[in-house]
Amino acid sequence: MQVLENTAIEARRQALEIALLEGEPFWRDMPFRVARPGWVDAYPDLDHALAHLSEGELTHLLGDNRALIEWLSARVQSCRLEAALIDVPRQPVGAHRPDCRHVWGIPGRKLEQIEAFLDAIDTGAHEVLEWCSGKGHLGRLLSLRCGSSVTSLELQADLCADGEWLAQRAGATRQQFIAADAFAPDSAALVAGRQAVALHACGDLHRTLVSNAIAHGGQGLHVAPCCYYQLGSASFTPNAAGSRLRLSRDDLRLAVTETVTAPAREIRTRDREAAWKLAFVAWREMSEGAPYKTFKPLPEAWLRLPFAAFMTQVCAREGIHAPSGKVLTELEARGWERQRVMMRRSVVRLAYRRILELWLVCDLAVPLLHTGYRVAIREFCARKLTPRNLLLSAVR
């Protein structure tokens, strides 16, 4: 597989953007909010094929980005999608395994992600800034593995205190913590002369780190982005000056819409939550005759209630009268039917999720490419370990 680096990143970004612009009718509408997306009437055969997917076929497609693209492109010739658009080289699994004393307190899946991340990066002899470190697990293992001097930046002082205790326990004498806001001017200067690492830094945090590295002479950075929608503004501004793609925060959620790592119980809970929410949406439409309106997240405790009690709570909060009697039974059945249709129609939208995510990472690389960094994008681990497995590395 061709390495995705330097000028190849810009070429890929442009190809991904074309696919997103041409396929906009397939991914803009959210099936949860729009019961009948615009493409349904234009492509009735596609909707028919989705309706007849078995549960096993649906599960396979939702868990495989290449399969999603290939399935859609085989049925809609005009979308001109190719699975090669999302091909990114993967870092081979390393042989290094840390001393058990060094990993105390790190959950198993998180530890695997950290080990894979460290296998994929090379910070050389530079001092390292661990960006938004939490308890500093990544920085601690990096320091112990490579002997690097690591400064771990974290907003919450209690997490810094926990991290200092863990570092002392593990003998990581070259790790120090700073309790500060990553968006503060003083924090921006910490990247000067250092290489920065960030495993699953969200939205404005990973964009700010890139800006800081450029502005303050960072020697390099290694970032696995996450939660692209966590922005201070309502819309996303591309780094690429000529980009024609306009994205809202809701659009950005598409890039992280998946449950590949969720256990069966969580998937059942997710499905019930969607079905019950859709039942409420149906009831509000019946009661008010209004189109879909957003509503605040629901307390998890409400989803453990019987359906009737759930509806009572949601309706009270949203200011409409609650259904009763046989209407409740009909609404719950309608919610589950809408959930079934929604999941199948979501296949079309989700075919673009990895395309959008890779475009976002390529766009993140643009200012680094323009300021003299050598940049590469790769997968640092298998998707089953974490679907947020894209790693952006840039060095001077």
125-173 pLDDT tens trace: 899 999 999 999 999 999 999 999 999 999 999 999 999 999 999 999 9
Per-residue pLDDT tens digits for 164-191:
999 999 999 999 999 999 999 999 999 9
Beta bridge partners of 225: 201
Residue 247 and residue 222 in contact, taking contact as beta carbons nearer than 8 Å: no
DSSP 298: P
How many CA atoms lie less than 13 Å away from 334 in the CB half-sphere? Answer: 17
pLDDT at position 185 is: 93
pLDDT value, residue 293: 81
Rounded distance between C-alpha atoms, residue 338 and residue 162, angstroms: 46
Going by C-alpha positions, the residue among 128, 125, 166 that lies closest to residue 150 is 128
Locate tokens 């490419």: which residue? Answer: 369
Return d(Cα 157, Cα 161) in angstroms, integer. Answer: 6
The Cα–Cα gap between 302 and 309 comes to 8
Give me the phi and psi of 130, to 5 degrees please.
-90, 115
* CATH of segment(s) 100-254+354-395: 3.40.50.150
